[in-house]
Amino acid sequence: MSGFDITGPEDPAGAPDGAPGEREARVNLPGAVDAAVTHQPDWAVDSVYMAKEISFVDRRVMVNETPAPAPDPSGSPAPADGPAFRKALARVLLGKLTSTLDETHWLDHKLVELTAIVEDVDGYPAAGHRSLWRRRGRYATRPLTQVLARPETDLILLQGAPGAGKSVAMWQHAVEGLRQIVSGRNPDLPLPIYVNLRELRAKPDEINTDVLRKYIAQQTGPRGSIEIASYFAHCFTEDLRRRRVTLLLDSFDEIPAVLGSATVDKAVSPYVQTVIELVGGGGRCVVASREYKGPRAAGWTRLHILGLSSEQQESFLRGLGLGREDIGLVQPLLTDPRHGFVTELQNPLSLKLLASYVEARHTLPERPSAVFEEYVSQRLHAAVETARDTGELRRVEDFLARFAFRLTSTDGGLSVSEREYGEEIVREAGDDAAVRELLLRVVPASRLLVSAPEGRHAGRRVFFGHRRVQQYFASRHVASRPSAVAPFELVTNGRWRETAVTVLQDGSPEITGPLMAELAGVLTAEWGRYRAMEEASRREYVPIAEEFTWSSYGELVGEEGANPPPLLTPFAWSPMAVHCLELLTAAYHGQSQWPRAEIEGLVQALVDAAWRRGSVSDRKFAVDCLPLLPEPVRERYIDRAFAGGSGWIRTTALRDCATLPALTPGIRRSIRRLLITMLSERSLATESHAVDVDLRRLHGDDDLVRVRRIISWSPKAVAVICVLHALVAMAAPGAYWWRLRDQLLWWYAVPLFFFWWFQSTQPLSYGVGKSRTRLFFERVVNRTVGVEMDVLETDVLLGSLVMIAGLQAALQVALGFYEITEGHTTWGLLEITLYAPLSVCALLWGPSLLYAVRQGRSSRELSAIRLVLVVPDTMRLPDHPARALSRQTWARFAWDSLWGLLKMAVFTSPVWGTFALLYYAGGHTGHILALVLLGLLTGYFPLVVVIGLVREFRAHRRVQRAVLRGSRGGAAFVEAMFSLRDTGEAAEYVRRIRGIPGMDAEKLDRQAVRASIAYLQNRPGAKPSDPAPAGFAVTAPRRPAAWRADDALLDELGRLDEHLRAR
């Protein structure tokens, strides 16, 4: 489609001039798709008459002709549901889809080949809890089509920034699937049906499954096709239920009623519920939307398209034809945040426009909007046959700006009918025939505006080829006419969000000043509301439930509900504050210079209040505001986020690091500490793919992905060194397999134990997320040796390991010389040259590697050779604890170690002493008793496993029963949660509740969720003996006080709280 054709593409091309063509179906199934059915030639208007009665006259048909009656499929027989019919149907759908190429792929075919990074943001596993239950781990993959084709996913929500490639991915997935069916490569593939929801004009109180099904049928096939209508009348519902169809619903956020809504959730929920009801229990559906004003559907798999990494950017630019010189020219914009392009150019659309700009001008743009200016200029110049003066083109641009403003400011959606568009042209041109002729000639040819049929037998709708182009023109209009929209309206009304972002980014201080003043006023009011709540919560002898009614609290936080606010969390982000802070973050993330004077102090105060007095979801949103904070404060909060036990907040903070203007040395150290912490928690390997995606998006020349891989492989390397050490011992004189057993038990268990201990020391890592096994060993070591594992610092433990390894190596070297004097020359040399160094490496290689990473060694400094020699290489670091060791330290350590070993031998003597006495002094009876004891100890572990499995299955049943009770909503949700035995069950319960479609604010009381978080979060002032919140029916003998500060449960409740937050 090269433009838009108001003449009706279904009319036969051979109709005589001035005569209406016949409206007849040109597609007959089974059979080929006639090109005339789906081809849409350039838009051509011959004349325009009176403004009130506009007729577009074409040589073939008049637009205001009475439409032919719709074909009635109800009386037609059901089509034969066989391979031939499906192939023919797929051929028709493919022809229709490819004919509307400009609507989705408004640039060119190169965007179709773009691969995308996708993340399952709702599947983060609860670390440290049961792993038998199925958990969808956070993952990342490419290309996107592989994720969309997963047969086990029924409801998918695809989200991404404007221009991230959502529509491209949907279109590509549909085309590839249809081609497989048409070619016969995969005839049983579910039929992909792509539908753009931009023209769904049913209001929230009008939408239902019949309306949506009719809309899908109208938008899918060519106009006049009785066969397509018959399929939707007879086969579509059954195919959807049997999963033979995959619905691809694009542009959910562009539904007119959603675009113009002031309360997003109230407008979105009916459409989400309708999609769920249409799909039913077995259908598959993918909904693409921007995150803002998009659905927050419980129970859907949420895929988020992330920005391009540096490697993807360069690969994409090469694919667009840029040479090495041009790629080198744009590198500063890709990597240096001071230019203000870094985050914007992680978007494939903006990157494509930048490539076009550089190809045309051979220089760099000064601001992000300049690439859109160049694109518009190229399109308009290409639309005229000969060069015209700039005044004419400026007149066309002004018209497009006013037209874009009109589409944004009204409730009619992002398109208008042909008649309404004609009225816009008449209104713009007035009596000036030259201007009218200019607009009629240039605008369609530029393809800045395109059209699509409104229905099978209705007219066509006119709209901008891409929504970001419309936003560019609307922002241009607002910037040139500040009085067009009041500043408060611009920054607080959701319909102007994208326009306000662009104006804040590119507007002059005279334009942005009033907007920043209004934003500061909103944040000042938010701070005042929080202070009022904080003062009320601190008054003695006056319970907050009596001090405030819910209506007064609702006025403070901007929400409505039925319960008073929780005592320990007086802070709660209001929807207005969330909107304004998201607006500021979208406008200024990744930029080092922005007008922060009026805003920065307020943002810092609110973030601090949210971190101290808010819930876990309030903290998470505070982390999202990091780009707005000053650099030192930003470092502090990133460190706090990484140091906490919340995997949700950690992931958010790591992802948000990619939006910062630059990564300071402090932030880089924090990221390295986080990677080591994840290694100690055994989550780095399972989350490696997702972590790599986040690390690739960080700005800087340090290859943190390779650093992450080295850290992940360090335990395996330590294990290999231990095995090699044990194998070398087999060369000793008189060695036998029992010696190998002893060597493996000692030289495998001891080094790995110390390495495992070292990972969790501070400040090497954050030392959080302790497992039950670690707690057990902490108690054993504390009682036997008198060492508190959890308080021992990194330098102290590393220094101790150096001394242990040194004393051990000295002893082995001495033994090696002794073996040489005894005539065992070969073994003595091996013990001196190989066995002793391997024993040192077994103890020090892993800790030395992690210490080098913590000290900032880059991936280039961790080459293969330096990894082999990492122990002596690390000891050369100025701050290495080995450099501070003296002779007195060595002597004292030797004595303390000997004394500690004696104490351990005494404390453990009842175990090993009893076994030794029975085995060596008890004769045959003692041997039998020792073997029985050994058998009991050996059988204990399988017994523990069996008991654990039984407990898991019983817990699984308890959670299932709790979900059935809690899904009724209201107080039943909290009662069911607190009736479970432990936090692992409770976290799984909340996760399953979140996974039930339709569990929204109408069924779940958000304030009950926040009260649960306040009770479990162990805020300052809370005591373990405090009673549960009023209304919580806690059944004995459950003790929810023991659940406090459980991060996995709080994460799940926080996600649920965020989902229920009003928009």
| pLDDT computed for residue 402 by the predictor | 93
The 10s digit of each residue's pLDDT in 804-823 is 888 888 888 898 898 888 88
Name the band, by pLDDT with cuts 50, 70 and 90, for residue 853.
Answer: very high
Mean pLDDT of 558-563: 42
| pLDDT computed for residue 401 by the predictor | 93
CA pair distance 385, 390, nearest whole angstrom: 14
Name the band, by pLDDT with cuts 50, 70 and 90, for residue 224.
Answer: low
Helix residue spans in 822-922 (DSSP H): 825-830, 836-854, 864-868, 870-875, 887-907, 909-921
| pLDDT computed for residue 53 by the predictor | 32
**Which residues sit opposite 461 in a β-bridge?**
417, 452
Q: What is the DSSP letter of 787?
A: -
| pLDDT computed for residue 598 by the predictor | 78
Which of 130-144, 373-387, 509-523, 979-993 holds the top average pLDDT? 509-523
* Among 92-96, 161-165, 509-513, 1026-1030, the least confident range: 1026-1030
What 3-state class would DSSP assign to 284? Answer: strand
Element (H, E) at 761: none
What 3-state class would DSSP assign to 460? Answer: strand
Name the band, by pLDDT with cuts 50, 70 and 90, for residue 84.
Answer: confident
| pLDDT computed for residue 826 by the predictor | 85
The total of other beta-carbon atoms located within 10 Å of residue 447's CB is 19
Pick the residue with more confidence: 439 or 936? Answer: 439
CA pair distance 22, 15, nearest whole angstrom: 8
Going by C-alpha positions, the residue among 471, 16, 76 that lies closest to residue 259 is 471
Helix axes 647-656, 616-624, angle to 10 degrees: 10
Per-residue pLDDT for 129 more than 50?
A: no
CA pair distance 20, 86, nearest whole angstrom: 34
In the numeric block, the tokens 């649920």 are attached to 1056
Which of 234-243, 276-285, 1040-1049 holds the top average pLDDT? 234-243
The 10s digit of each residue's pLDDT in 39-49 is 333 333 333 32
- How large a percentage of the chain has pLDDT more than 70? 70
Name the band, by pLDDT with cuts 50, 70 and 90, for residue 900.
Answer: low
Which of 27-36, 590-599, 840-849 holds the top average pLDDT? 840-849
Q: Name the average pLDDT for the chain.
A: 75
| pLDDT computed for residue 1036 by the predictor | 35
Q: Which two tokens stand for residue 523?
A: 């944040």
Per-residue pLDDT for 940 more than 80?
A: no
Mean pLDDT of 483-502: 89
Per-residue pLDDT for 441 more than 80?
A: yes
Contact criterion met (CB below 8 Å) for 534 and 613: yes
The 10s digit of each residue's pLDDT in 820-850 is 888 888 888 888 888 888 888 988 999 999 9
Per-residue pLDDT for 730 more than 90?
A: no
Mean pLDDT of 339-350: 82
Mean pLDDT of 736-749: 63
Name the band, by pLDDT with cuts 50, 70 and 90, for residue 747.
Answer: low
Q: What is the DSSP letter of 832?
A: I
The total of other beta-carbon atoms located within 10 Å of residue 18's CB is 11
pTM equals 0.78
CA pair distance 791, 762, nearest whole angstrom: 8
Per-residue pLDDT for 762 more than 60?
A: yes
| pLDDT computed for residue 849 by the predictor | 93
Mean pLDDT of 956-976: 86
Per-residue pLDDT for 310 more than 90?
A: no
Name the band, by pLDDT with cuts 50, 70 and 90, for residue 620.
Answer: very high
Angle 256-257-258 from CA coordinates, rounded to 5°: 90
Going by C-alpha positions, the residue among 1014, 1056, 1031 that lies closest to residue 975 is 1031
Contact criterion met (CB below 8 Å) for 598 and 625: no
Mean pLDDT of 93-101: 77
The 10s digit of each residue's pLDDT in 403-427 is 999 998 888 888 888 889 989 999 8
Mean pLDDT of 781-803: 75
CA pair distance 914, 103, nearest whole angstrom: 82
Mean pLDDT of 719-747: 71
Per-residue pLDDT for 439 more than 80?
A: yes
Contact criterion met (CB below 8 Å) for 30 and 70: no
